[in-house]
Amino acid sequence: MGTVWIGSIIYLNDKYPDVEWDWENINTKDMYFPKNFIWGTATAAHQVEGFNTNNNWYRWEHSFDQNGKSRIHNSDKSGDAADHWNLYKQDINLMKNIGVNAYRFSVEWSKIMPTINKIDQDAIDHYREVCIALIDSGLVPVVTLHHFTHPLWFEDLGGFEKEENIKYFLEFSELMFNELSDIVKYWCTINEPAVYVSQGYFNGVFPPGKKDPLLAGEVMKNLLYAHTEVYHLLKSLKNGDQSQIGLVKNITQFDPLRRWHVLDWYFSKILNDIFTNSTIDLLLNGEFRFYLPGMADLSYTNTKAIKALDFIGLNYYSRWHVKGHLNPNEPFTFEKRKQDIQTDMPYSIYPEGFYKALNTVSKLEMPIIVTENGIADDKDDRRKLFINRYLYALFQAMQDGLVVNGYFYWSLMDNFEWAEGYSMKFGLYEVDFSSQDRIFRDGSQAYKEIINRPAVDSRGYKVSIGDKAPNLELNMLDGTRINLSELLGQVVVLQFTASWCSVCIQEMPHLEKEVWLPFKDEGLMLIGIDRDEPLEVVKKFKKQTGITYPLALDPGANHFSKFAHKNAGVTRNIVIDKKGNIAFLTRLFDKGEFEAMKQKIKLLLKE
């Protein structure tokens, strides 16, 4: 027994190491994102709009538990929330101020279909106006159809507990799609089925406040079935083929508190399986299993669910540490660790988990959109660190080749945080709920700063063809100085190189023979710029290659980083026309591209 125990522990620790990065030695400034990246903020109707008096959450906020206590922290009620319903135009300006290019929000079913057979056209028109206002401001609308709330009539029919009720959600989804899909391309069907289920049917802290593992499994199955049906239905409608429709999956990892304890490993696995793997398996293989030992075991097959999405939305916040017990009434508990930096929510800052979660959803081989990520931080003393580290984790995942198309920060502004009421401050903007004033938090600057950095293209370039070339003051190898502005009227080629770069060494004789020698007397200037090497090394390098065109120094790669990201590689030629505009960019030594560059130079010389 003992050996099996030890063997399993060794195996598990080896297979699932506890990933923790050495943040002291990571420079989170060193990250860059692609040019067409979707940057956004996210909200949900019930949390920000106000005046939702006809949905499951309204009833929940006004009900009491068996001890007569409010269900919501501090007895808060969503009430007028951030009055986003009326203030959306002003809020769009807040988004513009950050510099984002997209907004994820949800449409409130209970406002659109207040009773089972009534449609409120004014409510639909409102959402259309919101979308138009966003588009007019250069923001892409991303619409969520179900974000934890639905009409009371739907709740009273049994909500998602009953498969036969899914038809109502399909009706609502079809209605909204028909109304908005001419201007809305991105759709999220259901927000976080696993959170809806665990909080509403397992922990009992969200409506309907049940603690019924069997029913939890059933509701989870129904929600995923609803997603599948909605996906196929919307795809079959007008504009369906041009739309991007995805499911929003929250990943919270469950990790063993005691890495030497089999029970902690066991319950972590059970929880990861029901919370995350069951959904991934269904979307990947059509197989779903919801298994909680002694409490629930539900299996279901639906081949229509396989790849029933155009993107996977990932919501990631943190992980939980699990402690297993030999107590059937309380088989596990969640514990905090002293060494972790906590957020105001009962979980820690864990960017490594974000990186892992991105890898988990990448198994679906679908583009990923991070539909939520953010921190509750009332003191605003961890927000900056959170943003820098989580975005660094995102950057690392993208560097590894994961296809991530966008990131939405949760949340644009403080809002009604469900069972936690107004106590949790997730906003980039702080909201004073009595005056409805919004104030941009200091820590939120980090987000603004990162998303407004010059983006890079897939080759690591910050600049594009047509841009004005940045001005450089070059220190030449022979001790002279050249200012690029002095070269206006000539065609200039800047070649970024280094003595350790074999591709550069391969290319340099071609530059010498096919560019420098034939065109140097025709109005061309070619300057090699050696990236970050001392004078002596560069001198030797010049000798070895035998080139006769001039070389300049680039200590600290400061010149290089005006054109490309600092971490991107050398072997690049930047061709600048007579007016000082970038006309051609090469990367590595590709014969075809090199030829095209020569042709371009010839044309530019003639201009």
Give the catalytic positions in this structure.
Answer: 192
* Nearest alpha carbon to residue 104 among 315, 252, 403: 315
Specify the residue for token string 């009962």: 346
Binding of ligand BGC by 181 (CB under 6 A): no
Near ligand BGC by CB under 6 A: residue from 250, 348, 388, 586: 250
| Segment near ligand BGC (CB under 6 A); pick from 48-56, 169-177, 187-195, 202-210 | 187-195
Identity of the residue, 187 or 410, whose beta carbon is nearer to ligand BGC in the bound complex: 410
Alpha helices in 286-373 (DSSP H): 351-361
CB of 314 or CB of 576, closer to ligand BGC? 314
Token pair listed for 285:
């293989």
Q: Is 44 in the site for ligand BGC (CB under 6 A)?
A: yes
Query: Measured from the CB of residue 457, what is the shortest distance to ligand BGC in angstroms?
Result: 32
Counting beta carbons within 10 angstroms of the beta carbon of residue 453, is it exposed (0 to 12), middle (13 to 18) or buried (19 or more)?
A: middle
Smallest distance, Å, CB 57 to ligand BGC? 11
Q: Please give the full DSSP string across 135-171, using - where no structure is assigned.
A: HHTT-EEEEEEESS--BHHHHHTTGGGSGGGHHHHHH
Whether the link from the prior residue into 509 is cis, omega within 30° of 0, is no
Q: Which is nearer to ligand BGC, 192 or 554 (CB)?
A: 192
Binding status of residue 195 toward ligand BGC by CB under 6 A: yes
Q: Which residue is listed with tokens 């680039």?
A: 554
Other beta carbons within 10 Å of 17: 9
Cα 183 from Cα 241, distance rounded (Å): 14
Least distance from ligand BGC to the Cβ atom of residue 420, Å: 8
Q: Are 358 and 404 in contact (CB under 8 A)?
A: yes
Question: Closer to ligand BGC at the Cβ: 267 or 316?
Answer: 316
Residue 389 CB, nearest approach to ligand BGC (Å): 18
Q: Which is nearer to ligand BGC, 176 or 195 (CB)?
A: 195
Q: What percent helix, strand, coil does the chain show, rounded to 5?
A: 45, 20, 35
Closer CB to ligand BGC, 372 or 577, in the complex = 372
417 binding ligand BGC? (CB under 6 A): yes
Q: Does 414 bind ligand BGC (CB under 6 A)?
A: no
Task: Please report how close the Cβ of residue 148 comes to ligand BGC at its closest, in angstroms.
Answer: 6
> Does the footprint of ligand BGC cover residue 191 (CB under 6 A)?
yes
CB of 418 to ligand BGC, least distance (A): 6
| Contact with ligand BGC (CB under 6 A) among 160, 354, 410, 447 | 410
What is the DSSP secondary-structure string of 585-598? Answer: E--S--HHHHHHHH
Distance CA 265, CA 257 (A): 8
Residues 140, 185 contacting (CB under 8 angstroms) = yes
Does 318 bind ligand BGC (CB under 6 A)? Our answer is: no
Q: How far is the CB of 447 from ligand BGC (least distance, A)?
A: 16
**# residues near ligand BGC by CB under 6 A:** 11
Binding residues for ligand BGC restricted to 535-564, rule: CB under 6 A: none
Q: Is 108 in the site for ligand BGC (CB under 6 A)?
A: no
Q: Could you tell me if 392 and 386 are in contact, meaning their C-beta atoms sit under 8 angstroms apart?
A: no
Minimum CB separation of residue 78 from ligand BGC in Å reads 12
- Name which of 77, 47, 45 is nearest 59 in CA terms: 77
The footprint of ligand BGC on residues 348-387 (CB under 6 A) is 372
Residue 144 in the binding site for ligand BGC (CB under 6 A): no
How far is the C-alpha of 45 from the C-alpha of 30, rounded, in Å? 36
Residue the block writes with tokens 């990861």:
272
CB of 251 to ligand BGC, least distance (A): 11
- Length in residues, the chain: 607
Among the listed ranges 174-182, 188-196, 319-327, 328-336, the one in contact with ligand BGC (CB under 6 A) is 188-196
Picking from 262, 253, 303, 254, the residue whose alpha carbon sits closest to that of residue 281 is 303
Query: What does the alpha-carbon distance between residue 29 and residue 32 come to, in Å, rounded to a whole number?
Result: 9
Instruction: Name every residue whose Cβ is closer than 8 Å to that of residue 468 and which is 6 or more positions away in sequence.
Output: 580, 581, 582
Asked if 192 is part of the footprint of ligand BGC (rule: CB under 6 A), the reply reads yes
Residue 264 or 377 having the CB closest to ligand BGC: 377
Stretch that binds ligand BGC, among 81-89, 114-122, 191-199, 267-275 (CB under 6 A): 191-199
Torsion 360-31-39-347 (CA) sign: positive
Select 250 or 278, whichever has its Cβ closest to ligand BGC: 250
Q: Applying CB under 6 A, does 272 fall inside the site for ligand BGC?
A: no
Query: Could you tell me which residues come within 8 angstroms of residue 44 by beta carbon, excluding any fewer than 6 positions away?
Result: 105, 106, 144, 147, 148, 149, 191, 415
Stretch that binds ligand BGC, among 189-197, 235-243, 506-514, 537-545 (CB under 6 A): 189-197
Q: 436: phi > 0 → left, psi -120 to 50 → alpha, else beta; which?
A: left
**Residues 6 or more apart whose Cβ sits within 8 Å of residue 35:** 455, 456, 457, 464
Instruction: Please say whether the beta carbons of 409 and 370 come within 8 A.
Output: no
Tokens of 500: 């350790």
What is the C-alpha separation between 252 and 254, in angstroms, rounded?
Answer: 7
Shorter beta-carbon distance to ligand BGC: residue 148 or 589 = 148
Q: CB-wise, 172 or 347, nearer to ligand BGC?
A: 347
**278, 315, 444, 571: which one binds ligand BGC (CB under 6 A):** 315
Taking the complex as a whole, the smallest distance from the CB of residue 345 to ligand BGC amounts, in Å, to 6
For ligand BGC, give the closer residue by CB, 57 or 300: 57
- Minimum Å distance from CB 250 to ligand BGC? 5
Helix (H, G, I), strand (E, B) or coil at 285: helix
Judged by the rule CB under 6 A, the positions of this chain that interact with ligand BGC are 44, 47, 191-192, 195, 250, 315, 372, 410, 417, 426
